[in-house]
Amino acid sequence: MVANPEMEVALKIGVTTILEVMLDLLLDVTDLLDTVFFPLLAFELIVLVRLRQLGWARLKEMLGNGGAFALFLPAGILGVGLWAAAFDAVDGWIPWSIRTTGWTVLLAIVVADFLYYWEHRLGHELRLLWDLYHSVHHSSRQYDQTTNLRLGVFDGLLSLGFSLPMVIVGFSAEVALLTSAFVIAYQTWLHTEVIGRMPGWFEAIFNTPSHHRAHHGAQPPYLDVNYGGVFILWDRLFGTFQAEQDTPAYGLTDGAAVPSPNPFRIQFGPLLGLVRDLRRDRCWRHRWARLWNRPGWRPSQPASPQ
């Protein structure tokens, strides 16, 4: 029971804010699906039928992606609601702010995409984040609009926290949330093979389906490249850019690790694999190193149990 009336009011406002943000996000997801996802998916399906590439195996994969999204969506909505409350709290604590104008919103998009680049890159370079959520998105051997839906439950709960520095430097909580959401929403149209190359100037600045197909490639030279969300400039700047050459082979580098179309195995199979590896490690030093090294890291030599 809350003894302080002011604290009780604050808690009620906080809960109300979370619920409002969750409802708004659900409406925004619905709008995004209606305006981008479903039209492009319908076009893809027509192309696949004409090319005779829409077999039962691919349909099962698509349904599995949809099932994975059904598990992700409640966690994603909850995560946004909780982080929105956290952003709002931090926004109220700091004594400085960046005035919201058209120019500062454009700057915020650039900053949000910069932070997304590093969150995305760490999701590939740290085994903990890779198996906790990001490998879910890469585990399909197919690449189409339903790959958009293949998102990890913990991605929805955790990844927005990487945008918190935006609020700390002075952007409003609303601007930080909306621009971070824009970076994610922009990538909806990237998951397709029916769009080829964009004009050269566009490919030089922005992320495109071609760049993102390379990102999803599971073989050299496509491993760990093209992390940007909206802009490909970060990859060019930090040496992680790779142009699409041949058609990539999609999925995980370990073919045996590709989960079935079962949504629960899609979501939690990689995490269970990490747990099994941690249980096999003979000391805590190796367990810690496994979490914070790249996926595929192995102890260089056996260590004594501790």
- Tens digits of residue pLDDT in 230-269: 999 999 999 999 999 988 999 998 754 555 789 999 999 9
Q: Which two tokens stand for residue 236?
A: 């060019």
- What is the reported pLDDT for 8? 42
Query: Which phi and psi (to 5°) does residue 217 adopt?
Result: -65, 145
More confident residue, 113 or 255: 113
Average pLDDT over residues 71-91: 93
What predicted TM-score, i.e. pTM, was given to this entire model? 0.86
Distance CA 172, CA 91 (A): 6
Residue closest to 144 by CA, chosen among 232, 56, 73, 250: 250
CA distances from 197 to 190, 192, 208, 213, 246 (A): 11, 12, 8, 11, 13
pLDDT single digits (tens) 86-108: 999 999 999 999 999 999 999 99
More confident residue, 41 or 279: 279
Confidence band, pLDDT 50/70/90 cuts, at residue 24: low
- Burial (CB < 10 A; 0-12, 13-18, 19+), residue 106, is exposed
Radius of gyration of the chain (CA): 21
Residue spans of the domains in the chain: they are 5-264
pLDDT single digits (tens) 151-198: 999 999 999 999 999 999 999 999 999 899 999 989 999 999 999 999
Stretch among 119-123, 238-242, 282-286, 296-300 having the lowest mean pLDDT: 296-300
Between helix 56-93 and helix 263-280 the angle, nearest 10°, is 70
Q: Which two tokens stand for residue 100?
A: 């919201």
- What is the reported pLDDT for 51? 82
Distance CA 66, CA 64 (A): 5
